[in-house]
Amino acid sequence: MRRALRIYVPLALYGIFLMLPFFWMILTTFKPNQELLNTPNPFWVFRPTFAHVTDLLTQTAYGRWFANTLFVSTASTVVSVFISYITAYAIIRLRFPGWQAVSTAIFLAYIVPPAILFIPLATVIIKLHWFDQLWALIPIYCTFLVPFCTWLLIGFLKNIPRELEEAARVDGASNVAILWRIIFPIAVPGLISAAIFSFTLSWNEYLYALVYMSSSGNKTVSVGMTTELIRGDVFQWGQLMTGALIGVLPAIVVYFIFVEYYVAGMAGSVKE
């Protein structure tokens, strides 16, 4: 009994608070329109319907926005994990002149938030003719992914014992061979952590996509929904919650598959 009071009761209260919006998305997705506005109990669905799902997928550009987000998130994850791995390796293992300055610069880059960059970056994007080009979001997202992943991987590579590569070096292996054949396989858990964070961070990104993408065909899920499914004061809540639910799923699925890596990465980022 005391255990229940000490653990499960407070845990249940947290659970209700933290899960409420997700519960609400699921409920609204299957509610017919009249139940959204007039219902004896809003926390129940009396006549479930798939109308919002079909409407969203057939009558709006949602499918396109979803594909765009998937493309940008996947590509920026692959690119940034690759760049971050070779950068972290160079900083931790090669100790070239100036590695400490580079390491500090990477760290400072991580704490520069997009909110102070988006205005001047807009003028750069326009000059480069990258405005409203979907692929341009890939290098743009790398600007916040690379510092974060490099920092994460530096912490990870630091803990790999040097004996392994010294043995290989005695056998005449080059630095490049050590980078790919010795360290890379050991670094895989760290790379997975970095990849999941990159994917969820890209999937979550809003400000850059909102400012730099203008045509409907180039929008991401978050941007498309807030700019095209909300018109003035008219909120199509059924469609909006369906879109939110489907849009939340990829991030959550990736998270649940790799939950241990995610938690380890989060814990490591405050400890290292």
Distance of alpha carbon 107 from its chain centroid, rounded? 19
Q: How many CB atoms lie within 10 A of CB 230?
A: 13
SS3 of residue 32 by DSSP: coil
> Does the footprint of another protein cover residue 97 (CB under 8 A)?
yes
Stretch that binds another protein, among 6-14, 48-56, 58-66, 156-164 (CB under 8 A): 6-14
Question: Contacting another protein (CB under 8 A), which of 55, 211, 216, 228?
Answer: 211
Q: Using the minimum distance from each CB to another protein, give the nearer residue, 56 or 146.
A: 146
Q: What residues numbered 8-27 form the site for another protein, per CB under 8 A?
A: 8, 10-11, 14-15, 17-22, 24-25
> Does the footprint of another protein cover residue 129 (CB under 8 A)?
no
Q: What residues numbered 177-196 form the site for another protein, per CB under 8 A?
A: 179
Q: Using the minimum distance from each CB to another protein, give the nearer residue, 61 or 117.
A: 117
> Does the footprint of another protein cover residue 76 (CB under 8 A)?
no
Rounded Cα–Cα distance for residues 174 and 123 (Å): 43
Residues 6+ apart with CB under 8 A from 119: none
Question: Contacting another protein (CB under 8 A), which of 45, 53, 70, 117?
Answer: 117
> Does the footprint of another protein cover residue 257 (CB under 8 A)?
no
Q: Strand 230-231 and strand 234-235: pairing?
A: antiparallel
Question: Contacting another protein (CB under 8 A), which of 1, 2, 3, 234?
Answer: 3
Q: Are 200 and 254 in contact (CB under 8 A)?
A: yes
> Does the footprint of another protein cover residue 247 (CB under 8 A)?
yes
Vertex 202 angle, CA 196 and 205, to 5°: 140
For 96, the token pair is 């070239």
Vertex 70 angle, CA 249 and 131, to 5°: 130
Q: Are 173 and 182 in contact (CB under 8 A)?
A: yes
Residues 6+ apart with CB under 8 A from 90: 96, 99
> Does the footprint of another protein cover residue 90 (CB under 8 A)?
yes
Stretch that binds another protein, among 57-65, 134-142, 160-168, 182-190 (CB under 8 A): 134-142
Q: Using the minimum distance from each CB to another protein, give the nearer residue, 91 or 195.
A: 91
Stretch that binds another protein, among 51-59, 158-166, 184-192, 253-261 (CB under 8 A): 253-261
Q: How many CB atoms lie within 10 A of CB 199?
A: 23
Per-residue x/- track, 145-174, another protein (CB under 8 A): -xx--x-----------------------x
Question: Contacting another protein (CB under 8 A), which of 32, 36, 45, 228?
Answer: 36
